[in-house]
């Protein structure tokens, strides 16, 4: 399978999509933390504070378990993939995202990782909502949030992209990437809360998404292209330095590829017209003739 390669992106590179993903996760996490810190000024009881935070702030970020609530809180489709609650949750997800995302972006370019991240998160969220319909007693009443399913998709896709990639090759030859992926999957599954059995299903959906994504790439189908083009269009929408489209006149639009004029007028050659041109030459000289009159005179001399 052939994959597009790109130059290695630095931390400060504006095209580094991995940095944008990490930044988005950290921004949402800091926003949630500041909101919780704000409640400390009003609620001394920690239980009351947590309950107030989960009922007034979290519903704006997490994906509801009910499909009808998803329709009324449609913006959560774009917020829940970046909402990590808890310092250890965000640190763990970001470390694994960087470990696999760095390799994936380095080998496949910077235009696939964000679509793959969103596909994995959306697949995990959709699986959770559907599972909540069949097992409402097992569903978390709050909803679903977090980047774990998205990171799982990137981990699986990276492993399929290059399973023999060597981690730390300078240390006794290193070890293949699939070993790190296996450790990550085992740790992620083992740390799932036992009182939330439905939380395992989004992880499986995320891993399956990464598998399908790379399978389609191998068949020449890039499902990330439309999203990347959409991001490019949105990024240039408010860019004052973007190249402006120049609307050509209709005549130039129709004949801009022609190597000669589409129509050339040929004056009618008559004896009276020739005599009039000769009289004009006698009266005013050759310099007084128009281009059409000169052409008539040349045609008459050739004939």
- Tokens 């931390």 appear where? 11
How far is CA 31 from each of CA 26, 34, 73, 79, 183, rounded to the nearest angstrom?
Answer: 8, 5, 19, 12, 31
Domains and CATH numbers, the chain: 17-237 (1.20.1540.10), 260-302 (no CATH)
Overall residue count recorded for the chain in this entry: 303
- Tokens 């209709």 appear where? 250
Locate 280 and state its tokens.
Answer: 């004009």
Asked if residue 161 lies in contact with residue 214, where contact means CB atoms within 8 angstroms, the answer is yes
Give pLDDT tens digits for 58-86: 989 999 988 888 999 999 999 999 999 88
pLDDT digits (tens), the chain, 303 positions: 444 444 566 655 667 899 999 999 999 999 999 988 888 888 877 888 888 888 888 989 999 988 888 999 999 999 999 999 889 899 999 999 999 999 999 888 889 999 999 999 999 999 999 998 888 776 666 788 999 999 999 999 999 998 888 887 777 777 888 899 999 999 998 888 777 778 889 999 999 999 999 999 999 999 999 998 888 888 777 777 766 666 656 555 554 555 555 555 555 667 777 777 777 776 666 667 777 777 777 777 776
């Amino acid at each position: 399978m052939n994959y597009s390669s790109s130059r290695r992106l630095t931390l400060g590179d504006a095209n580094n999509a991995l940095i944008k993903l990490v930044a988005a996760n950290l921004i949402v996490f800091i926003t949630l933390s500041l909101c919780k810190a704000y409640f400390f000024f009003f609620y001394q009881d920690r239980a009351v504070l947590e309950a107030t935070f989960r009922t007034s702030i979290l519903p704006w970020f997490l994906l509801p378990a009910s499909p009808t609530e998803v329709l009324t809180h449609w913006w959560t489709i774009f917020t829940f993939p970046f909402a990590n609650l808890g310092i250890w949750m965000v640190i763990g997800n970001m470390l694994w995202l960087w470990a696999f995302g760095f390799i994936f972006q380095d080998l496949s370019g910077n235009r696939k990782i964000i679509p793959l991240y969103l596909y994995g998160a959306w697949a995990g969220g959709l699986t959770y909502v559907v599972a909540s319909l069949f097992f409402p007693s097992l569903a978390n009443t709050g909803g679903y949030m977090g980047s774990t399913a998205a990171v799982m998709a990137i981990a699986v896709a990276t492993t399929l992209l290059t399973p023999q990639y060597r981690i730390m090759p300078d240390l006794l030859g290193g070890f293949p990437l699939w070993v790190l992926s296996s450790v990550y999957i085992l740790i992620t599954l083992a740390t799932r809360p036992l009182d939330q059995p439905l939380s395992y299903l989004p992880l499986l959906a995320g891993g399956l998404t990464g598998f399908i994504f790379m399978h389609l790439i191998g068949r020449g189908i890039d499902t990330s292209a439309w999203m990347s083009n959409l991001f490019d269009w949105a990024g240039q929408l408010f860019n004052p330095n973007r190249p402006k489209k120049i609307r050509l006149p209709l005549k130039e639009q129709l004949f801009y590829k022609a190597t000669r004029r589409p129509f050339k007028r040929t004056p009618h050659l008559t004896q009276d017209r020739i005599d009039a041109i000769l009289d004009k030459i006698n009266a005013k000289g050759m310099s007084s003739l128009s281009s059409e009159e000169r052409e008539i005179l040349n045609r008459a001399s050739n004939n």
